[in-house]
Amino acid sequence: MNSPTTGKFRDVHRLPPAWNGLMHLIAGGFALVCVFPFLFVVLISFTEENSLLLNGYRIVPEKWSVYAYSYIFRTGDQLLRSYGVTVFVTVVGTIVTLVLTTLYSYALSRKNFRYRGFFAFLAFFTMLFGGGLVPTYIVVAQFLELKDTVWALIFPMAMNAFNILVLRTFFQTMIPDGIIESGKIDGAGEFKILLRLVVPISLPGISTIALFSTLGYWNDWFNALLYIDSNQLVPLQALMMRIYNNMQFMIQNSALLNSGQSREMLRSLPQETARMAMVVLATGPIVLAYPFFQRYFVQGLTIGAIKE
Amino acid sequence: MKALQGFVRNMAKNRAFLLMVLPGALWFLIFAYLPMPGAILAFKQYRLDLGGFFSGIVKSEWTGLKNFEFLFQADDAYIITRNTVLYNLVFIALGLVLSVTLAIILFQLAQKRLARLYQTAMFMPYFLSWIIVSYFVFSFLSVDKGVLNQLLAAFGVEAINWYSEPAYWPFILVFMNLWKGIGYSSVIYLAAISGIDRSYYEAAMIDGANKWQQTIKITIPLIKPMMIILTILAIGGIFRADFGLFYQIPRESGPLFPVTNVIDTYVYRSMKVVGDFGLAAAAGFYQSVVGFILVLAANWTVKKVNDDQALF
């Protein structure tokens, strides 16, 4: 679209440069504020412990050191155990969630399921009203006797109405009736249709749910706070809670050290920097992975918000 | 008899679907519906040692409204309700204004690749758990090593014991909530804005409208329905607080409770720390009932605004 006065191509969609610059400042500034704390913690973890005790948390460390990390690698079997717990819970939990949610949502999306209204209500009513923390705790801890088991970290989070809403909407809008018809014509039963025909083309929707679920399980500390006392089953986030005040939890429970060695290690514990190093190690995977999956989260959240 | 036969036949016809919903339905029954009658614990003095879930609920002593009396007589109910509701109101209002503004800014940026970079960066807080974030906050607020106190020292001001001074915490908590949430909610609005038909803007430009006018007259009115609905639904949740924010960030500091205790943390502490199941159940029941009414009201309101956006 040429401007008649200058004869040059002028993109009329562009903001005047001064405003554009200001917008960049605001948006970029906020983006920096979002990212800075993590970077700061990374820098702290590479600081030499004594200089930190002397000078406090500094953006540019007075003295650099990887001692915190080498310390953790020597005594960090608790870290490995927690990683193991978290990975197990996340993988199994996500699989459980996917199976339960896909089956449920698919049935809800099919118009010829006579009772789908009832089961839709069953799921969505839970968005309105809940028993509350106390009865839920008693059900899980006492009735199901899941206290101090890994299942207490998996089952309470396995389903939620929001996931069902998102996936049902996805099935309703993305699966052409023709696919199902052709399956029926070929004489396939409902399960076969679901597994052979629908699931392969539903991978975008299913992977969105998988991402929500994975993030939820990985970051969960609440269930561990409620139900886990044993050191063997402490997931990553709960471990971060336990060492918040006091890194000694890590050392005292290390199986790599005998009692004489633990006393020695305790004395040389770089409390502050090791804590931050733990944060980096616990969060690193997520920070590195999330940019690749960001798009799917936006899709899923948008479907849930717009519900169209 | 005929009806029963009909019913059984229908069940058989739908048996594949019924089998599909069975695991999920079982989950809902056990984890969502079974606890509901447990709300009756609010009216009893629950004891853990009475042998099991059902006998414990049935055999516990009936105390009527005593738990509620205790809850409402002390300042407790007022404080936690006030905190929960006020914080949420601020979160909702500021959250809406800031995320829409940020979405519009991102939309207007000429350099799209930079805008995408900002978006990715802004999304990071959403992926972090509150316990991790509390470490970040600690690096700023720590009494002897934190960045804020170092800055104060550089200006000759005395260090503040942040974790013991209630006055600052409303601001700290609001800031942290916005920090964690604005990134992703602005991206939601940005997705909506990107869906607006470009021809509206082109027509406006031909008519000589500048960017500001375009924003006011086109962008905002077209995303208004979404803004209204999301806000109303948020108000429906005004009685629930983000447990992670209010539990992890203040680090369990007692002096801060008057400004950091919300209904959810109160319920948790009453149950796990104090061990008073009856009181915790009463507070939880209070929250569930009021929350229920609010969600229904919110949903009814949304239906009035735009029928197919409602949840029910």
Note the ipTM here.
0.88
- Cβ within 8 Å of residue A296, ≥6 positions away: A204, A207, A208, A211
In a domain, B2, yes or no: no
Encode pLDDT of B148-194 as tens digits: 888 888 888 888 899 999 999 999 999 999 999 999 899 889 988 98
In a domain, B137, yes or no: yes
The b-or-e profile of A296-305 (16+ CB within 10 A means b, else e) is bbbbbbbbbb
- Which of A116-125, A269-278, B295-304 reaches the highest mean pLDDT? A116-125
Written as one letter, the residue type at B146 is G
Best B131, B148, B149, B242 member to test A by mutation, with max A CBs in 10 Å, is B131
The predicted model gives B269-298 an average pLDDT of 90
pLDDT band at A3 (very low <50, low <70, confident <90, very high): very low
- Which of A66-70, B72-76, B97-101, B219-223 reaches the highest mean pLDDT? B97-101
pLDDT in the model for residue B184: 85
- pLDDT tops 50 at residue A308: no
- pLDDT tops 90 at residue B65: no
Range of the domain at B212: 90-260
- Helix, strand and coil content of chain B, in percent to the nearest 5, comes to 80, 0, 20
Least confident range of A54-58, A160-164, B184-188, B239-243: A54-58
A153 at interface of B, judged by CB pairs closer than 8 A? no
Say how many domains are in chain B.
Answer: 1
pLDDT band at B196 (very low <50, low <70, confident <90, very high): confident
Give me the domains of chain A, ranges plus CATH numbers.
17-66 (no CATH), 76-242 (1.10.3720.10)
> Residue B197: which CATH number?
1.10.3720.10
In angstroms, how far is CA B194 from the centroid of its own chain? Answer: 26
Least confident range of A85-89, A258-262, B107-111: A258-262
Least confident range of A1-5, A101-105, A170-174, A232-236: A1-5
Encode pLDDT of A287-302 as tens digits: 998 888 888 887 777 7
Best B55, B127, B184, B214 member to test A by mutation, with max A CBs in 10 Å, is B127
Please name the residue of chain B whose CA is at the shortest distance from the CA of residue A39.
B136
- pLDDT tops 50 at residue A1: no
Do B262 and B80 contact (CB within 8 A), yes or no? Answer: yes
Best A10, A26, A32, A34 member to test B by mutation, with max B CBs in 10 Å, is A34
- Judged on CB neighbours under 10 Å (0-12, 13-18, 19+), A263 is exposed
From the list A123, A136, A215, the residue facing B28 with the nearest CB is A123
The predicted model gives B43-57 an average pLDDT of 72
Alpha-carbon distance values, B173 to A24, B59, B135, B166 (Å): 26, 42, 14, 11
Question: The tokens of B55 are what?
Answer: 């006998």
Q: What is the pTM of this model?
A: 0.88
Residue showing tokens 């500021």:
B94
Distance in angstroms (rounded) separating the CA atoms of residues A271 and A66: 13
In a domain, B187, yes or no: yes
Query: Chain A: nearest CA to B281, how far in angstroms?
Result: 6
In a domain, B60, yes or no: no
pLDDT in the model for residue A306: 58
pLDDT in the model for residue A47: 85
Q: Cβ–Cβ of A276/B139 closer than 8 Å?
A: yes
